[in-house]
Amino acid sequence: MRNTKNKPRGVDRDRVGIVAGFVVIALVLATLVLYATSMGGINLMESLGILIIIVLVVSAAWVLVDRMRNARAGLPAKDEMTVKLSHKAGYYAYLASIYIALAFMWYSNSLEESGGVGLDGGQTGGGIILLSAIVFMGSYFYLSHKGAAE
C-alpha cells in the first residue's frame, strides 16, 4: 500500500503534462485568431472547420481542468480507467476515420461528377483529422459517463 503522506507517483509529471496541455491550447487559439484575422472573409466550410476546432479545444480544456482538479486533491491525473477509456475511444476514432475517408472520397467524386471542383488533399486530410478527433472526444465523454465495464 502506498504511503498517503507522500504524493502519488507521477504527480509532478502529471502537472507538467497539464501545463503543456494548456500551452498547446493557447497556441491553437492564437493560431486560429491569426488565421481568422488574416483571411478577408470566411466561407461556410472554413467556419465549420473553425467551429470543430473550437469544440475540440473546449473539450480538451475540460479534460485538463478535470485532471488539474484531481492533481490538486493529491490524486493522479490519469489512472488505469482513463487509459482504458482513451484506448477504447481511440479505437472508435480509428474505425470512424476509415468511414469518414470513404465518405470524403464519395463526396469529392460526386462534386466532380456534377461539374464542380472536387476536394483537394488538404481539405480531405484536414476533414478526416478533425472529424476523427470529434469522434474521439465524443466517445471519450460518452464512455467516461457510462463506464468501461465490458
Partner 1 sequence: MKTRIKEFRAKYDMTQEQLAQKVGVRRETIVFLEAGRYNPSLKLAYDVAKVLKTRIEELFIFEG
Residues 6 or more apart whose CB falls under 8 angstroms from that of 132 comprise: 93, 94, 96, 97, 100
Counting Cβ atoms within 10 Å, is residue 37 exposed (0-12), middle (13-18) or buried (19+)? Answer: exposed
Only one residue has cell 481568422, namely: 36
Told to check if 114 binds partner 1 by CB under 8 A, we report no
Q: Counting contacts by CB under 8 A, is residue 59 touching partner 1?
A: no
Q: CB of 93 within 8 A of CB of 62? A: no
The interface region with partner 1, picked from 23-31, 35-43, 80-88, 91-99 by CB under 8 A, is: 80-88
Residue 53 C-alpha from the chain's centroid: 8
Nearer to partner 1, 14 or 100 (CB): 14
Q: Give the one residue of 57, 61, 75, 101 binding partner 1; rule: CB under 8 A.
A: 75
Least distance from partner 1 to the Cβ atom of residue 79, Å: 4
Which range of residues in 46-54, 75-83, 96-104, 112-120 is near partner 1 by CB under 8 A? 75-83
Residue 100 CA, distance from chain mean position:
16
Q: Does 72 bind partner 1 (CB under 8 A)?
A: no
Q: Under a CB-based contact definition with an 8 Å cutoff, are residues 96 and 135 in contact?
A: yes
Residues 1-20 that bind partner 1 (CB under 8 A): 1-2, 4, 8-9
Residue 39 carries which DSSP code?
S
Residue numbers at the binding site for partner 1 (CB under 8 A) = 1-2, 4, 8-9, 70, 73-82, 144, 146-150
